[in-house]
Structure 1
Amino acid sequence: MTNPSEPGPDHSEPGLSAIMSERRQLTNLAYRLLGSLADAEDVVQETYARWYAMSGPQREAIDAPGAWLTTVASRICLDLLGSARARRERYVGEWIPEPLPDRTEWISGRPGAGIVDPADRVTLDESVNMAFLVVLEAMTPAERVAFMLHDVFRYPFTEVAEIVGRTPAACRQLASSARRRIRSAQPDAVSAAQRADVVRAFKQAWEAKDIEGLIGLLAPDATATGDGGGLVTAALHPVEGAEQVARFFADRRGAAPDLTLVECTVNGQPGLVAQLDGVTVSVMAFDITGDRINHVWAVLNPDKLRAWTAR
């Protein structure tokens, strides 16, 4: 997204700190809607550009600046989502939302640490785990925005309607439809400790190229999806079936014996990072039910790993 030039903010403007404090909320919203931290940051910058493009009197006439910023950011996201389907068709291979590291894992002493990192502003709750974001990808733009604004950010349907450009009743139906999608795809609750145990066992079996061990950790209909974006080698289509997924990972280990696997937090849940010579080359998120893995999402596209390689 190209950001128009904007005048510098007037630091004497009343309520400036309140305006800037909305940045975290806007980033949280935009990331969940777009599945991309880079795009979310662009949306937030564009939103503030539009705020400061107005005259002082115009800004002062807005009774609820936070609501204005959210409305503008949501509409920008809605426009982007409308064109996302066409962009996905041009994307090489499968598209997976950009993974986020746990903010406590960021190294405060690295260059540029004086600037708050975008990932540090994204709250890692259930609405940002990879399985949830993947389900959101299957929704229409209007469904996604209506559901996210109402169910996650608690906006009343009257306000959602103004943003989406539909009636409150229509927005209620959109959110209800989205809710059904979420419920049908939502697995049974699994504790973080159980998830961590399964991911650790997967890591150990993968390191040992233990195909039987891997099969025992995978649901019979397990799938593995890779996202290389055409920039690095990745499977163009999901690998399906426990044995096929197990052999796929065992073969990859054999082809890259120097690969180091590190347990970490990915979008708020236990995951793995694969490193080569200390550089992150893949981030993996898992969908787990009980003690079995239903899905593995592996992001290899370097453009989506900047938050991990800059640490």
Structure 2
Amino acid sequence: MTEKTFQKKPGYYNEFPIFRVINLMKKNIGLQDSCLQTNEIAILYLEEQSLESGNNEIFIKELCSKFKVSLGIRDFEQFKSTLYKSYILQTYNLIEPFFKNINQTYRYYNNFDRDWKTQDDKGKNLDPFNQLLINLPKDKSQELKTYPEYFLFNYYRLVRNSIAHLQDSSNQHERTNEYFNNYIKCNIDFFKDNYEIIAPNSPESINFTDYILYTKSIKYFSNILNDLCFPSIHNLVILAQKDKNLQSKLNMTKTIKSDGMLLVRINTLRGFFHGHFNTNYKKIRDEFCKAYLEDEKVDCSKFL
């Protein structure tokens, strides 16, 4: 009997080398996670001690006096509600630049030389995430929209806008609620089953679980984005052919007269690949090297 292999939910694992911008995003999100989760422990402990004191108001006043803080909120529910909404803002401020970076990465590696669309067909400005979708090939864009996370990121962006721009747009909160009712409620069971988190919550009920879901989902879903944005071998070859530094190195073995010179050329191409991606994807690396040399009409079958 074959033993079943455990796969951690939601099971979004990358098949291609990870872009550096994704590793950087995960590092930044991880640092924020460690800070805010430690902060959550402190908040819950403070709330617990406040309840055990028997007099919440006196307890907070004594702490304010002890630590020389002029004012401390006594309503923990109001305090946590305000704080958790700020976590959504903070996370958005990490995720939005990431989407901008992944757009630039996609354009660079895929030799995207057309005008980058920043508006939809109706002339409405698009956020960076939806800019990516409108510029991707149609099949890839449609695939991304099949994931509940697509709606989740749009929702938390709207939540962020409701918090940050409440005074500027009277109907922003209404639009956020409408989006929650139309696109999020139907996916709550998916997030509960796959992320083991009871979230997302309605705009009025944003709490710590929303923050956890927001950060956890982008870390997993970035693997999907990575693979859909990863260039074809053909595009990698074009990128290499345009790289002046690589071409300068390859010129030293332009006329191949021995197996040794061919190996030097292959290793130079491998070094170029490793300069962009990690070393764990040797099969893709060597497919790139083979395609590059075949484009030069070089027989590399002895080594690749």
TM-score range, shorter chain: under 0.3
Normalization by structure 1: what TM-score? Answer: 0.25
Q: Which has the higher strand share?
A: 1
Normalization by structure 2: what TM-score? Answer: 0.26
Answer with 1 or 2: which has the greater Rg.
2
Greater RCO, 1 or 2 (C-alpha within 8 Å, sep 6+): 2
